Structure 1
């Protein structure tokens, strides 16, 4: 057994030993007393806490043997920090700071905090990481490359099933590590093919602290599903190349940042069908993604048809007959499968059954799946009532439901056809299963990736008009019956993992542009914390390497991009530096508008910005008299007496402003306006407060000086002045509205707006606002509150202000102040 002194000499770094040969004395502390000497008298059970943390067998042995000073040694080793602490114990100062932002912000000693407070608060140590790891049955081989496959969960659903196939294939040639955000029924199946499996919803914070060999270097990774986006920070921070294999439609991928982060940082996007890729086109254009170069289509497998012998069909039909109480021997059977829900179109499946009941009583519809909860007000209540009204489950009826389970193979073998009634469903695995069982498949045009030619060439997949159960019923009744084919079933296979790996490495080998180093603009995307500055450099490098953009590199890039564009809107945009006004008497007269649905910060804004006292006129809109009275009182206390106008709670902050400029409206003849708001969605978090301060400082200045933003409107050729935002914010979901308004404009809208008043606060000429009103017309049916987070007309208006200025023959100026914190 090692003596404490010999362990100290072996484990403490040389520079520590040079000044501290004896761990019992600390020359850097007052009175040379050690941390252990300080803490032990004050923390009950301190030695037990230390013993529970220690993982190094030799150190645990001397503690267990009651060796004098053993716990003293453990404490002093742990407080040396990284890498000694994690070598001897389950405590890591590095990990503790990463996990707990309050500790990092307070700049307090992590180990001291843990033993004094963290133990009682049950804060995490490295011991918790062990619970997240599951050792696979495959032995790690250092001579093989290592692949990380990430999936959002391990359930028996589409993407996890694909991930299991990938792991099974990859295990023949690679060390495979699976990482998932959540567990599920496939956990044990995955363990057969992997060296390690990790379950964590915080991959960067957790996986960065695994130091054993299998996590030391991943040769590449596959993100299987956009729902695995949370692994992107870990991959970028560790410079691991990765392909994202995408199954999900953009139409239901929310929040949008899932697709944004995936497309910004994946070396290659691989889609399981072209129809899915088409749904991503707008979001990819939003980040200047090169679709032709950096995407490809790889089908999960070919749409080949398997064999189902006649005797297998007869046996399956006999068992199904017993389950549903109706003889199915001579009937036409149409199956559906999956979770009962709106997306899967279970209600449409039932309607098709109703239509067929009158046309062919010998056709029976059979759905197998779970999820029907008669107490679920979103779907279950209404679907249960629907099924009861049409007689589902009655022996004399033609619609039956079975729970997911062992009957599934018999359902497929017995069925002549599968009706995929889904409203939007990329490549449901049940269709592959149905094809393997020799079934024909009917689905809606535009509802699934199975509409792609690669899947339809089998001749067993047919599409009908979208959402039309009558068209589906007609197609199903026209299909030939399944008579069976002798011989064993021959389901189609495919080396999907090998094809993904080859495609990724081909793309990496083709890359000729590389960027290294920090950029002038340090606005975070994946890595918001101050101590993650090195990671932010890596995220910029990767975006810029592929020419993708969500953050501007520097002001020169903005200028170059504007100069390179020939779009009529872009030609009217320019940058200008922030400055303060030396002589306010030289400024044009201006009015301020504030929409104050919330009034909390109004008085503070007035005190903090001299512009309020220089305004010729202040107009404040709000939605009820109580708030109006509060506004008058608060503003009166500051010596200001605004015009307060009551408006409906409609159109966020911008519609109340625009309606001031309707014919005969309160805007009157005032020409120059500043539009502000007390928008709570900006002010309900620390980052929101910082953003709002950023906007107000650039637009208004502060309590001592006035921003020269309004001074730019001395130039009659300028119609809009707004803060320059370091983020490259695209059309986003507003892109879908562009076709409705583009024909009313004098030229084509740009593919990306590049610059606009992000946050909807700006200086503007009255004529520009009237032009915006004209674009929508006097009777436009504006959406009512509450509205979506993006994609409404109000989000489009925010992006169209420079367009309206250009339509008026005026330019837009964007004021940059890079030393003003944005987030």
Structure 2
């Protein structure tokens, strides 16, 4: 018997019991008039009391104005009755899947949405203080966004930003989460908006911020931490310049697109260390470095802990007893570590280093103390239990201890001799800045923290920076500091001087303020560029948008396009035949959007525009006077049939030159070719798996050039790639549809007839809407470019992505002359870097005053 059946029986029994007991003349109500589940959901006090819900409703609930059934959508008065608990319009806006399903939003919420954690009413953005009454009308207003208000690194930095900015601006502190410092933000001089959870509700975030931006006119916004990125798109839509303060590593931030979204929507990004910027560039090499800045934060003032004198004295005693207990010798060298007990902080390295030091100099008195929450071997079986075991097996229990977090870190710095930073990755932790400002030497690993770079720049690396995760080297540096008094005092003196220069919070905020002021004009220009492009109505949504974003509204498409060209992330072309990057490069320095500038200047001709061949329109007829060859490189025979079927859409029957990666496949491929109506000239084995273009330019190149006017090159993908990567499959279909045809008709015929009619067209390939640079292939390309007499490599160009194209054979002659012999050496193509270089050099090799490229485009087919 199902649960619903049992519920139904129980309800009937309750109703019968009620009628028999009370003798009421109230008629039995069916599901349309009374819903037990809804009544209990709607009235948790009734559910908690355990009374019969129907009895409660008829005795009390009706008189109190409670409702006992989900109102029908659009029913008179229903919206008002439930307005405090749910909002129909908001629910549909917030959850497009519900709107698309066409179901009643209220029923959906009570039956499914509430249990799924959906919200049914726009969250309220509460304020501490009021912009209307608290702000000086003569001052400009700025926004500081903090992901929470806890007593941790990023929120404490946000609090210090507010403290200093409030001296010259009206400041709104938007808190996306709560914590102990909420009131402290107000006391520091800000009107506090929040805490309000916006991080998981994008539509709600947009609506709430729209209200905030209507209430306050912001000069700029400082958005602190990657965890605050959720507000950036709304700031960009309102053209409020924003600076993202990024302290995290892109390599370990999840979800993986978090950094891309932050970089995309920020007007500028400030990284706390070169190490964190490099991590972002490694993950997103297309990032425009002009919008990225490196600026180490200053030393934060810690908010005063609300401890009474008795509690503070108790905390001081706890710390002193743990740091330097009475039993410890006076000359004990105290080494501290700090941070939450987690793998990233490298607590295991701290223990290993301690063990090495104690073994190396057992006569010296050392004590190691780790300060931070999370060490609990009884509960934490993922990390703490192994740390405890490590300590026991090393036999250093008497020399190492763990302390919980403390608000009295000044006492710790005063008692310690060295801060040991053993993190695997730690951008620029406040504890290291504080320690240096107190004159405490900081010893760390290279390539793990921005502090290592700063110490190296100050010539302190020999004393304080160990090799990457090299605990033996780190232990050696500790031993030298503990035994060489002169060295120790020198490091202390230089650390103090360096910290005073580098970690001044007022100077840090001044730098941010100056940068933000330069962004105001940039945001204003971006608004003008958006308006210019919107008025021209030139964007092709099916071309600008990636396949997964085709449902975007026109204003979202436009805003995303301009943002991409402003930040260098996710750049795409606006319509076929135009490359904004080439236009920008030819008009440097260009401080406006290249498409907007192109439109303002009357759409001038230049290398940024190339002819476009489409399936639509008339087009010249193909004639047999032109001799055509096509090279097919077949990775897998099962995919050959698709190529051959696409060729059947065309009149042209090119002579086929086939290459396969192994002798085993030659026979199978040859069998499939027996049905081809044209001529199969050769089936050649080319060892290796990555040489589809290599076979064209070496083994078969000169053969195809003899007697042929136009040569084509296409290939199949590996079958495993098709099965594992849907994007590869879509991209491959995009290329074949553009070069051979299919649903689009006879594209090969159109291409060859256009080349026959226009002798200036030397090569034709699909116009890929994505903008791609050289990447790692530049160094290889520069070497080959010299042999091709190409003087310089432009940053941007149109080129045949995937190295699939149609070309005049005489235009490819310079590539034959390279005599690369790639089919004999497959190692050059293991990482595809050489192939990427050749894709781009194909276009440069045919460049001359009498030759140009053309591209193909099929409406609605993109990648």
Instruction: Give TM-score scaled by structure 1 length.
Output: 0.67
Unaligned runs of 5+ in 1: 1-39, 55-60, 181-185, 306-311, 785-792
Structure-1 residue corresponding to 2:613: 578
Say whether 1:96 aligns with 2:92: yes
Q: Secondary structure at the match of 2:323?
A: helix
Q: Is residue 445–residue 463 contact of structure 1 (8 Å, CA) maintained in 2? A: no
Say whether 1:476 aligns with 2:478: yes
CA distance in 2, matches of 1:688, 1:62: 62
2:558 to 532, 537, 561: 537
Question: Any idea what the Cα deviations from partners look like across 1:199-227, whole Å, max 9, x if unmatched?
Answer: 34445322123389546455243222345
CA distance in 2, matches of 1:662, 1:382: 60
CA distance in 2, matches of 1:556, 1:343: 46
Shift of 1:427: 0.4
Say whether 1:550 aligns with 2:551: no
1:500 to 507, 512, 515: 512
Structure-1 residue corresponding to 2:171: 174
Q: Is residue 91–residue 119 contact of structure 2 (8 Å, CA) maintained in 1? A: no
Shift of 1:431: 0.4
Q: Secondary structure at the match of 2:131?
A: coil
Shift of 1:635: 8.7
Say whether 1:301 aligns with 2:310: no
CA distance in 2, matches of 1:596, 1:608: 18
Question: Any idea what the Cα deviations from partners look like across 1:79-108, whole Å, max 9, x if unmatched?
Answer: 9xxxx999787234465255325744xxx6
Question: Any idea what the Cα deviations from partners look like across 1:99-142, whole Å, max 9, x if unmatched?
Answer: 325744xxx64xx4435666544379997166976856x23433
Structure-2 residue corresponding to 1:790: none
Structure-2 residue corresponding to 1:657: 692
Question: Any idea what the Cα deviations from partners look like across 1:353-410, whole Å, max 9, x if unmatched?
Answer: 455445533245444457789999x996998699469716343xx6x36365359946
Identify the structure with the greater helix proportion: 2
Structure-2 residue corresponding to 1:139: 129
Structure-2 residue corresponding to 1:162: 157
Specify whether residues 385 and 618 from structure 1 end up closer, same or farther in structure 2 by C-alpha distance, changes over 3 A only: farther
Structure-1 residue corresponding to 2:539: 520
Q: Secondary structure at the match of 1:221?
A: strand
Shift of 1:602: 6.8
Q: Secondary structure at the match of 2:420?
A: strand
CA distance in 1, matches of 2:402, 2:298: 28
RMSD: 6.0
Structure-1 residue corresponding to 2:797: 754
Say whether 1:336 aligns with 2:337: yes
Q: Is residue 275–residue 449 contact of structure 1 (8 Å, CA) maintained in 2? A: yes
Specify whether residues 637 and 121 from structure 1 end up closer, same or farther in structure 2 by C-alpha distance, changes over 3 A only: farther
Deviates more, 1:340-349 or 1:236-245: 340-349
CA distance in 1, matches of 2:489, 2:40: 69
Q: Is residue 88–residue 105 contact of structure 2 (8 Å, CA) maintained in 1? A: no
Shift of 1:440: 1.2
Structure-1 residue corresponding to 2:25: none
Structure-1 residue corresponding to 2:206: 208
Specify whether residues 382 and 176 from structure 1 end up closer, same or farther in structure 2 by C-alpha distance, changes over 3 A only: closer
Specify whether residues 573 and 336 from structure 1 end up closer, same or farther in structure 2 by C-alpha distance, changes over 3 A only: same
CA distance in 2, matches of 1:444, 1:594: 49
Q: Is residue 91–residue 125 contact of structure 1 (8 Å, CA) maintained in 2? A: no
Q: Secondary structure at the match of 1:187?
A: coil
1:193-232 to 2 correspondence within 5 Å? 193=185, 194-210=192-208, 213-214=211-212, 216-217=214-215, 219=218, 220-226=220-226, 228-232=228-232
Unaligned runs of 5+ in 2: 1-28, 44-60, 186-191, 303-314, 494-499, 590-605, 706-710
CA distance in 1, matches of 2:701, 2:387: 55
Specify whether residues 115 and 226 from structure 1 end up closer, same or farther in structure 2 by C-alpha distance, changes over 3 A only: closer
Shift of 1:730: 3.0
Q: Is residue 628–residue 654 contact of structure 2 (8 Å, CA) maintained in 1? A: yes
Q: Is residue 122–residue 204 contact of structure 2 (8 Å, CA) maintained in 1? A: no
Q: Secondary structure at the match of 2:181?
A: helix
Q: Secondary structure at the match of 1:443?
A: strand
Higher Cα radius of gyration: 2
Specify whether residues 202 and 748 from structure 1 end up closer, same or farther in structure 2 by C-alpha distance, changes over 3 A only: farther
Q: Is residue 765–residue 805 contact of structure 2 (8 Å, CA) maintained in 1? A: yes
Shift of 1:739: 4.3
Structure-2 residue corresponding to 1:187: 179
Structure-2 residue corresponding to 1:29: none
Q: Secondary structure at the match of 2:735?
A: helix
Q: Is residue 418–residue 440 contact of structure 2 (8 Å, CA) maintained in 1? A: yes
Q: Secondary structure at the match of 1:722?
A: strand
Specify whether residues 779 and 687 from structure 1 end up closer, same or farther in structure 2 by C-alpha distance, changes over 3 A only: closer
Q: Secondary structure at the match of 2:322?
A: helix
Shift of 1:679: 7.0
CA distance in 2, matches of 1:751, 1:563: 10
Structure-2 residue corresponding to 1:593: 632
CA distance in 1, matches of 2:672, 2:81: 56
1:54-93 to 2 correspondence within 5 Å? 65=65, 75=75, 90-93=86-89
Structure-2 residue corresponding to 1:817: 857
Structure-2 residue corresponding to 1:114: 105
Instruction: Give TM-score scaled by structure 2 length.
Output: 0.65
Q: Is residue 720–residue 801 contact of structure 1 (8 Å, CA) maintained in 2? A: no
Q: Secondary structure at the match of 2:747?
A: coil
1:560 to 583, 588, 610: 583
Q: Is residue 722–residue 728 contact of structure 2 (8 Å, CA) maintained in 1? A: yes
Structure-1 residue corresponding to 2:272: 272
Q: Secondary structure at the match of 1:206?
A: helix
Q: Secondary structure at the match of 1:539?
A: helix
Q: Is residue 596–residue 621 contact of structure 1 (8 Å, CA) maintained in 2? A: yes
CA distance in 2, matches of 1:403, 1:424: 22
